[in-house]
Amino acid sequence: MNSPLKHRGVIVPMSTPFTPGGDVDDDAAERIADRLAAHGLSVFVLGTTGETSSIPTSQRERVVNSALRAAAKRVPVYAGIGDNSLSDSISAGNRYLKLGAAAVVAHMPSYYPIQPEEMRSYFERLHEAVHGPLMLYNIPQTTRMSLPLDVVEQLSSLPRVVGFKDSENTPGRLEEVARRFGGRPRFSILMGTASQSLTAMRAGYDGVIPSSGNLVPELWERFWNHASAGEWAQAEELQRKLDAIGQVLQGSRGLGGYLAALKAALAAQGICDATVLPPLRPLSKQDREKVVAELKAIHVLGSCGAASPS
């Protein structure tokens, strides 16, 4: 976990800010990335939290550029290239790496159900054509398929496959990932389910990828400092706080509602507009006020919308 060659730490899947008209808000993107970098958190643009599937391909590179400018080499910037078109993923991957991304991150295409051999072949072709570090990303919540660990094992031997972000939350999988891949010198394992961050760190994961880091980067910075030092009691206390924040944002909403709630909270902080892109919808006024009130009640938002350090 301590190898400087590995991708590690808190890597925040950045929320992509939009103007009320639905255009990428470059200034707000820089604000978000700058705040993450100021807390020592790496930046992951164009992931699920970033609503990438809804962003026109012509605008995606702007998000990468904004994050790179704001991070100013203080922290690594990762860029998602998941797409149903292999050629588009390859083209995007090579462009983003040339711009300065530390690695590109790819999940499976999500339209056709595919078998494990087809999954392996897809990532092998991606690896062959993308000329830089590639990270695997398993998110069955959106792809409707799970990347089998036997396939991950096969792909992990490829020279430019540098890690695995796993957002699957099935019983026993976290421990099996740690058993099979933990401690490898050039292959990182990263937890994509925020509520499992403490368990993952105890198991030997190299890092965590929490969307609430957009909202409370200072808490995730503290979590990492304690967890990476083995200060488990302090890390556990922070995990409980972070779980409470996640529960407010999630409520009874699905994934799209969670992302809209996160945007509403960021808007309450004055970071960006609450706009989400179709097919997602912004929260109603009543629901937005409920989210803000509940975050204030747990001391995440101050009376003026500022983040609380507690």
Whether the bond into 279 is cis, omega within 30 of 0: yes
DSSP 13: E
Domains of the chain: 9-229 (3.20.20.70)
What pLDDT, on the 0 to 100 scale, is given for residue 5?
Answer: 58
Between the alpha carbon of residue 69 and those of residues 15, 27, 134, the distances in Å are 16, 11, 22
Query: In the predicted model, is pLDDT for residue 90 greater than 50?
Result: yes
What pLDDT, on the 0 to 100 scale, is given for residue 43?
Answer: 99
| 214 backbone φψ class: left, alpha, beta (φ>0; ψ -120 to 50) | alpha
Question: What is 60-89 written as a DSSP string?
Answer: HHHHHHHHHHHHTTSS-EEEE---S-HHHH
pTM of the model: 0.94
Query: In the predicted model, is pLDDT for residue 305 greater than 80?
Result: no
Query: In the predicted model, is pLDDT for residue 97 greater than 90?
Result: yes
| Mean of all residue pLDDT scores within the chain | 95
- Whose CA is closest to 272, among 229, 305, 230? 305
- Whose CA is closest to 267, among 227, 223, 215, 219? 215
**Residue at token pair 């890390």:** 235
Encode pLDDT of 45-64 as tens digits: 999 999 999 999 999 999 99
Q: Give mean pLDDT, residues 130-135.
A: 98
Between the alpha carbon of residue 206 and those of residues 2, 95, 151, 202, 243, the distances in Å are 8, 27, 20, 10, 20
